[in-house]
Structure 1
Amino acid sequence: MNSRFTGVKTDSGCRQAVSRFILYIMLFFSCSGQTESNGYPLTKQEEAITDSLHLDPPVIQELRKYSQAPVAPFHYSRSKMYANNKVTEPDPIRLPGIIFNETEDNAYELIYKLKDGLKSKGYSIFKVELTGEAGKGEHSVGIVKETDPYRILKQMGTDGINYDITNDSLLTIIKDLDKKYQLELIGASGDYCEFIIHQPPADWNLLAKEVYTVCPDAVEQGAGSLEELAKELRNTRRLYFWWD
């Protein structure tokens, strides 16, 4: 009789030990997941931005994995005024999103790392403008709550007005190029836009001529020749328009 009772107690003790072990495992993974999701807590300022613009906090938390640059509500003005070491932006464009500064190399790296994940959440990331001397300064980068590239270009008012290219005509041009080269927007401002080329052309020189026709400055104030522009397009797999 004693042995039977002993056996029952031992069997019950084993079950309790197994249950405790399973509970510990569940708690461990639960805590691990919580630590990961809370590994990049928002600052008070960032919380205020997400609350006021109805943005998803994970957007900034994802950015924090790769950059600690201070963020601000998205704003852009084509006509900046500089005086007494201060910058004034008349009639700025404000979109639901954030903007921050990064070096050019870091800006591209961030865009390539974050663009797909942000798009799945309903956001786009793109370069906005150079904020310092070319090759030395920083670039502003925006993350906005919008995934339609044409809507972003419309909201940013992008055009090549120096060459009589209005915003509407530019969108028509880009839609035509998009059909041929599967473009993905990664840059937008008042006089600039940039795209990843997902469908490489059979003839890069022909693409360079298409770019030059729309934006002569890409050669005359950029690559220097159609041949060099073709090489740049092929090497970077990026197409850009920039009108000075």
Structure 2
Amino acid sequence: MNWKKLLSFGKSKENNINIEKCGISEEAMTIVRRNSDGKLHPFYKGDLYTEKRVEIAGIYVDAKQAEAELLVLKLREELMAINYLAFICDSEREKIGIIPGSDQFEILQLQQTNGDNYNISNERVISKLREWHSSHPFTVIGADYDWVEANFDVLPEGKELKTLAREIAEFCPDIVEQGTGSINGLIEAITETKKMDLWWD
């Protein structure tokens, strides 16, 4: 297979090295290409505090903002069988990351998702989301260093939803203070979207 042409990286020696290190199987690449005609790029894990590129973790594909979620869900369904994950990896919703892995919380680890301004580490974010997932399963469809987006597999209702909304507001105050304005507003947003959106400014 002509990896250089497939990935549209150009002709530089550096890009040839990147292709070899992207860690994506031919089978996974075929699935991505079958579902998207967006340009492919190496997806780097960066140093959160220096913004330096550290290592190539996979690839990302350009996407249209309005189509990003549907593309992620379609890719996740097909890639899951061969142990790859797909997720929205930028706040503009125009990049879909594809990385090896079967545990969706690896996405948060890779993206170093945190609430540093509330002294909430990446480890705490992952631990809290695992805790919520055990009671209210959800699918992580996007994340970056300061936000997470997930779709509930089954929407919590009644007292369970109220309790969860309070826990979300306590763990991520910005969702209420800069977003819904109240716990009731958060409950309404979760009910309407069937999503859990967290961010820390």
Structure 1 residues 101 and 170 mapped into 2: Cα distance closer, same or farther (>3 Å)?
same
| 1:121 Cα deviation after fit | 1.0
Residue type of the partner of 1:189? Answer: D
CA contact (8 A) 2:45 2:57 kept: no
**Taking structure 1 as the reference length, what is the TM-score of the superposition?**
0.68
> What is the CA-CA distance between 1:111 and the residue it aligns to?
1.1
Map of 1:106 onto structure 2 = 67
Change in Cα spacing, 1:45 to 1:223, as seen in structure 2 (3 Å) is: same
Structure with more contact order per residue of length (Cα contacts < 8 Å, sep ≥ 6): 2
TM-score (norm 2): 0.81
The one-letter code of the counterpart of 1:177 is: W
Match of 2:174 in 1: 217
Is the deviation greater in 144-153 or in 110-119?
A: 144-153
State the Cα distance separating 1:52 from its structure 2 match.
3.4
**Quick check: 1:185–1:194 contact (8 Å CA) kept in 2?**
yes
AA aligned to 1:200 is L
Percent of aligned positions that are identical: 25
- Structure 2's unaligned 5+ residue stretches are 9-15
Once the two structures are superposed, residues 5-57 of structure 1 have per-residue CA deviations (whole angstroms, 9 ceiling, x without a partner) of xxxxxxxxxxxxxxxxxxxxxxxxxxxxxxxxx9xx86625285654323212
* C-alpha contact 2:24 2:59 (8 A) present in aligned 1: no
Report which stretch shifted further, 148-157 or 101-110: 148-157
Cα distance change, pair 224–63 in 1 and its aligned pair in 2 (3 A): farther
Conservation of the 8 A alpha-carbon contact between 1:75 and 1:99: no
Q: Secondary structure of 2:90's match?
A: strand
Residues 193-212 of structure 1 show CA distances to partners (whole Å, capped at 9, x for unaligned) of 22221132133333222211
Pairing 1:123-142 to 2, within 5 Å after superposition: 123-131=84-92, 138-142=93-97
Hey, what's the Cα distance between the residues in 1 that align with 2:39 and 2:119? Answer: 37
**Is residue 2:137 matched to residue 1:168?**
no
Following superposition of structure 1 onto structure 2, how do residues 52-63 of structure 1 map, counting pairs within 5 Å?
A: 52-63=21-32
- Is 1:75 aligned to residue 24 of structure 2? no
- The answer to which of 108-117 and 224-233 deviates more is 224-233
Amino acid of the structure 1 residue aligned with 2:177 = E
CA distance in 1, matches of 2:155, 2:127: 20
Deviations 1:59-104 (A, max 9, x none): 2332233322111111254769xxxxxxxx8323534311133233
Pairs within 5 Å for 1:17-166: 44-46=5-7, 51-75=20-44, 77=46, 90-131=51-92, 138-166=93-121
Contact 2:45/2:110 (CA < 8 Å) preserved in 1?
A: no
In 2, Cα distance between the equivalents of 1:95 and 1:240? 27
- Count of paired positions: 191
Partner of 1:180: 135
Aligned 8 A contact 2:41 2:59 in 1:
yes
2:12 corresponding residue in structure 1? none
- Segments of 5+ residues of structure 1 without an aligned counterpart are 1-37, 81-88, 132-137
Give the Cα separation in 1 of the matches to 2:131 and 2:119: 18
The Cα of 1:184 is off from its aligned counterpart by: 2.0
